Amino acid sequence: MNLWRLWYERPAERWVEALPIGNGRLGAMVFGGIAQEHLQLNEDTLWAGGPGEWNNPEAHAALLRVREALFRGNFAHANELSRQMQGPFTQPYLTLGDLYLDFDYATPVAAAASGYHRELDLLRAVTLTRYTAGGVTYTREIFASHPAQIIAIRLTCDRPGGLTFAVHIETPLRGQASPLDATTLALRGKAPKHVDPGGHEGEDPIRYDPLGGEGMDFEARVRVLAGTGEVRAEGELLVVTGADEAVLLLAAATSFNGFRTSPGLQGRDPAPICAACLEAAAATAYDALLQAHIADYQALFQRVDLDLGATDAVKRPTDRRLAHFAADNDPQLAALFFQFGRYLLIASSRPGTQPANLQGIWNDMVQPPWNSNYTININTEMNYWPAELCNLSECHEPLLQMLEELAENGRVTAVVNYGLPGWVAHHNSDLWRQSAPVGNYGQGDPVWAMWPMGGAWLCQHIWEHFAFTGDVDFLRERGYPLLRGAAQFALGWLVEDGHGHLVTAPATSPENQYRLPNGERLAVSIGSTMDMAILWDLFTHTISASEVLGVDAPFRETLTVARERLLPYQVGQHGQLQEWSRDWDDPDDHHRHVSHLFGVYPGRQLTPEETPELLRAAQRSLELRGDGGTGWSMGWKINLWARLRDGDHAYRMLRNMLQLVDGSETNYLRGGTYPNLFDAHPPFQIDGNFGATAGIAEMLLQSHRTTQEGVRVLHLLPALPSAWPDGRISGLRGRGGFEVALAWQNGALTEVKLLSMLGGPCCLQIGEHSVVLHTTAGAGYRLDGALSILEAAAS
């Protein structure tokens, strides 16, 4: 029995019940209906707008006024003044449209079918729908191929000539489909040149260029191959009659021609791109397309295997398992959720594609929640937490590419807005690499709008990519210039606090507010803990990178001195790690962001060995914050509890996340998981899926520490919960270029396999014990038995 499946006994009614497929660029949500099949379609460069002007020359003077107010202690005034530093909102990621296959086109179809089954097979990245109606069994297989750059649909039935249906394709954007020839439909469309974000609409929120020039052009084509069946064009439809089998091939492309180019005025023609993909795929046998897809996908997916045991619960459909997860013993659902996160990363992020946005690549709206953009005060980074650790380093590439582009725009923002060198990014970005603060020139709440730390946080991904892969060329050619530029900006942004420390001012703690003794709630202050933690991280990585590359000694020295002077962490009156530079934390604050714990995760400044007291304070803060939150908030907390080495608490967070949310909810701050295993903020936001996948891995392997001698520590089973007494995992990656496989029984390690990619020593830590193992590049190591693992390594 293949356990790596999401499966259901009913077609999807809601979008959050449909099953996602994707090849990094093209995505679809598959509903699996009986009278009608519906694929909601996406292409990852289909965004509204175009390159724009978002820098604000007034920001610099406003910054000086904000600082003056802050250092006079007038925080309320500073909060208001900071609005003068804003630019426009980002543009949204858009749905492309919908493909429908109507099976009741010629004759009504029985609403009731027997033996209905629909699934997403994670082993092959293929959806399957099967049912029997009127004595005929129908089967549909659908996948998104990366090598062929198409979505393929194969329909079969067990009665000769039993397939009759009509095909049409629609878009809520401007555009219409019409037949290109007897077997091909083409939808040509145009995206708006501007869309206001939901909740901030002006009079005309969705604006098209009246001359038809500006705005993204796009095209989707679908070709029907029906064997001995007949295919004909009828109005805007293609009609298939009497086929035994039919294959539909769908290609889509946009005019996107780079982040600095107007997609409407200087775009690429999407038509020949669609035509070339369709022709090549149509000339290939369906089985060959399928095999090439599976081979390509499995080369990534099969690198990691996880077995936490399986109980009878696996016999139930996925939505019922989810509904019962908290009460049941169903460790395999946790494993499935882990692998689903890896599946989603492969499906939404491949070299050459756009990075996964708030919804990966799956969005059915024109004004999606939060613009379905890149929110870089947690969400985008979380999307990539599993990338290296879960052995999908290639899938990290789109984010690294975005960083380079963001830095180009961010250099201009740094100069225009602040008169500073280096580069900066704030809390939102989009396809156009918007780098300035959003908020529509003053409308935005400073609680999120006033945050110039996005670039600095993203830089962590550069160092992590290097730490896991050891790719010095990457660090030299691409990584270091970005780290250096972000650090340069930070040096210019920091100011003296009058007591010998360097602080950020204005500073916020994303998206939380402190309360002044007079009851006033404000966001902007001086030297928030997260700002300091992110800059420590950035400086540390920039220093290390310059050492590895043997460059820039004077700059390294400057950073080393500045790092020493950063305002240090403080422990407050409740024993908590202060979120603010003053002891303002409210012990009843259950805010979803846990920004002040950045140094525990995803940072590495706070550890049990190096900073035990601060770590205890961090734990206290986390306890006060509670075990609830939005989906991504709970995903973050899995990782935090894993770093605190409390496996049972990490598991409790996972259990809280694996609560069924059905799509009808009105509380947008109580997270969970939808029937299709998409993370529920709610609404759907993909970050929680990726956070949970990273968190499960972090419970089993950690590698963020080095010993005092600088040897990489591989901490094995650092936070194993009692719910998973027996299990095995293979293919996880540790920093320093190690691939790790582990097996355990009754909570104790029984086997360790290590593949050393780069050679050199590593320190294996098991519980309180540790031992250094000297490895050779390319060599594998195998250690059996809990105690003998340490002995063997020592000898």
Q: How far is the CB of 5 from ligand FUC (least distance, A)?
A: 29
CA distance 795 to 173: 67
Chain residue at closest Cβ approach to ligand FUC: 370
Q: Is 147 exposed, middle or buried (0-12, 13-18, 19+ CB in 10 A)?
A: middle
Residue whose CB is less far from ligand FUC, 364 or 388: 364
Does residue 358 interact with ligand FUC by CB under 6 A? yes
Residue whose CB is less far from ligand FUC, 370 or 539: 370
Q: How far is the CB of 87 from ligand FUC (least distance, A)?
A: 17
- Angle, vertex CA 368, rays to CA 43 and CA 597, nearest 5: 100
CA distance 120 to 20: 8
DSSP for 712-736 reads EEEEESTT--TT--SEEEEEEEETT
437 φ/ψ sector (left φ>0, alpha ψ -120 to 50, else beta): beta
Q: How far is the CB of 530 from ligand FUC (least distance, A)?
A: 13
Residue whose CB is less far from ligand FUC, 685 or 775: 685
Choice from 218, 448, 601, 724 touching ligand FUC (CB under 6 A): 448
Helix (H) and strand (E) counts for the chain?
20, 35
172, 162 in Cβ contact below 8 A? no
Does residue 374 interact with ligand FUC by CB under 6 A? no
Does residue 429 interact with ligand FUC by CB under 6 A? no
Applying the rule CB under 6 A, the residues between 614 and 643 that interact with ligand FUC are: 630, 632
Residue whose CB is less far from ligand FUC, 37 or 381: 381
CA distance 264 to 255: 7
Binding mask 455-494 for ligand FUC (x = CB under 6 A): ----------------------------------------
Residue whose CB is less far from ligand FUC, 342 or 681: 681
Q: How many residues bind ligand FUC (CB under 6 A)?
A: 11
Binding mask 379-408 for ligand FUC (x = CB under 6 A): x-----------------------------
Does residue 370 interact with ligand FUC by CB under 6 A? yes
Does residue 598 interact with ligand FUC by CB under 6 A? no
Strand partners, 495: 503
Residue whose CB is less far from ligand FUC, 529 or 765: 529
Binding mask 132-171 for ligand FUC (x = CB under 6 A): ----------------------------------------
Beta strand pairing call for 374-375 and 428-429: antiparallel
Residue whose CB is less far from ligand FUC, 378 or 389: 378
Residue whose CB is less far from ligand FUC, 340 or 632: 632
Residue whose CB is less far from ligand FUC, 369 or 398: 369
Q: How far is the CB of 671 from ligand FUC (least distance, A)?
A: 9
Q: How many CB atoms lie within 10 A of CB 591?
A: 18
Q: How far is the CB of 630 from ligand FUC (least distance, A)?
A: 5
Q: How far is the CB of 634 from ligand FUC (least distance, A)?
A: 12
Q: How far is the CB of 567 from ligand FUC (least distance, A)?
A: 24
Residue whose CB is less far from ligand FUC, 371 or 775: 371
Strand partners, 238: 167, 233
Does residue 592 interact with ligand FUC by CB under 6 A? yes
Q: How far is the CB of 94 from ligand FUC (least distance, A)?
A: 17
- Tokens 């070339």 identify what position? 276
SS3 label, residue 355: coil
Q: Nearest CA to 696 among 330, 378, 422, 390?
A: 390
To the nearest 10°, report the CA torsion of 323, 327, 328, 334.
Answer: 70
Q: How far is the CB of 334 from ligand FUC (least distance, A)?
A: 23
267, 217 in Cβ contact below 8 A? yes
What Å distances lie between residue 254 and 171, 188, 190, 363, 367, CA to CA?
A: 14, 10, 9, 16, 19
Does residue 359 interact with ligand FUC by CB under 6 A? no
Does residue 375 interact with ligand FUC by CB under 6 A? yes
Q: How far is the CB of 427 from ligand FUC (least distance, A)?
A: 7
Applying the rule CB under 6 A, the residues between 499 and 558 that interact with ligand FUC are: 511
CA distance 3 to 199: 42
CA distance 677 to 655: 13
Applying the rule CB under 6 A, the residues between 681 and 720 that interact with ligand FUC are: 681, 685
Residue whose CB is less far from ligand FUC, 129 or 630: 630
Q: How far is the CB of 539 from ligand FUC (least distance, A)?
A: 26
The string over 666-680, giving b where at least 16 C-beta atoms fall within 10 Å of a residue's C-beta and e elsewhere, is eeeebbbbbbbbbbb
First to last CA, the chain: 43
What's the token pair of residue 172? 């809520």
Binding residues for ligand FUC (CB under 6 A): 358, 370, 375, 379, 448, 511, 592, 630, 632, 681, 685
